[in-house]
Structure 1
Amino acid sequence: MNWYVVIPSALALLLVIRGAGSLRAGHAPSGQRRRVARPALQGWGQLAIGAAMALQACAQLTDGVAARAALGGTTFLGLIAGGVLLTMARVPRRNR
């Protein structure tokens, strides 16, 4: 069993479960409640990072160099997008 496939898959599953829980329940997990101002954005950010980690695990199983490069680039963009969403979740919403 290759650990470079198992570990990203396990992390992806954990992040997708936590992201879906944040979106469904409408609040952040207990360890992050004080720091998160917008839990829905945090849920979407965790889902984006989880999807990127799943793509990383899938990229290790492909044979083509072009396919690996495309999945690697998509993984990188997914991680950046998830990080941006997690950062935006900590910033309080402006009063309108």
Structure 2
Amino acid sequence: MAWVVGTGAFFGLLAITGGIVTLRTGWIPPMARRHVTRPQLHGLGALLMGASLVLQGLFYFRVLPSVSWEARFFGGNALLFGGLLLIALSQLLPPRRNLDHADPSGV
């Protein structure tokens, strides 16, 4: 069971790294570039999902003080589904329009 949690924590660290890179530079992984219209939401969603996975690993390996299983369950699910919602919104919302460049004719 420890290898499953360790693998999840590793993927959580990768998601956190990807979220930080997306927030700082706007870079999106190639498999999601075509779909993402708002990189900031995508980066925040990746951070939340990664934090959920890493926290579950830290609780399992007793790095953090133990809390009740209800707090771990509902807190982890809230972070995970919140991140999933942000990633979905980053792909479903229309792209923002810059009003300064909306009319190139200058009229």
TM-score grouping bracket, smaller chain normalisation: 0.7 to 0.9
Corresponding residue of 2:87: 86
Between Structure 1 and Structure 2, how many residues are aligned? 95
Alignment of 1:72 onto 2:73: yes
Task: Report the structure, 1 or 2, having the larger helix content.
Answer: 1
Q: Give me the whole-angstrom Cα distance separating, in 1, the residues matched to 2:96 and 2:37.
A: 11
The 3-state SS of whatever aligns with 2:36 is coil
Instruction: Give a deviation string over 1:17-74, Cα, whole Å, max 9, x none.
Output: 111111011131222111000001000000000000012112323485x523211211
Instruction: Give a deviation string over 1:4-27, Cα, whole Å, max 9, x none.
Output: 321111011110011111101113
Segments of 5+ residues of structure 1 without an aligned counterpart are none
| Amino acid across the alignment from 1:82 | G
Q: Give me the whole-angstrom Cα distance separating, in 2, the residues matched to 1:33 and 1:70.
A: 35
TM normalised by structure 1 equals 0.85
| Amino acid across the alignment from 1:76 | N
Corresponding residue of 2:12: 12
| Amino acid across the alignment from 1:31 | M
TM normalised by structure 2 equals 0.77
Q: How does 1:42-53 map to 2 (within 5 A)?
A: 42-53=42-53
Segments of 5+ residues of structure 2 without an aligned counterpart are 100-107
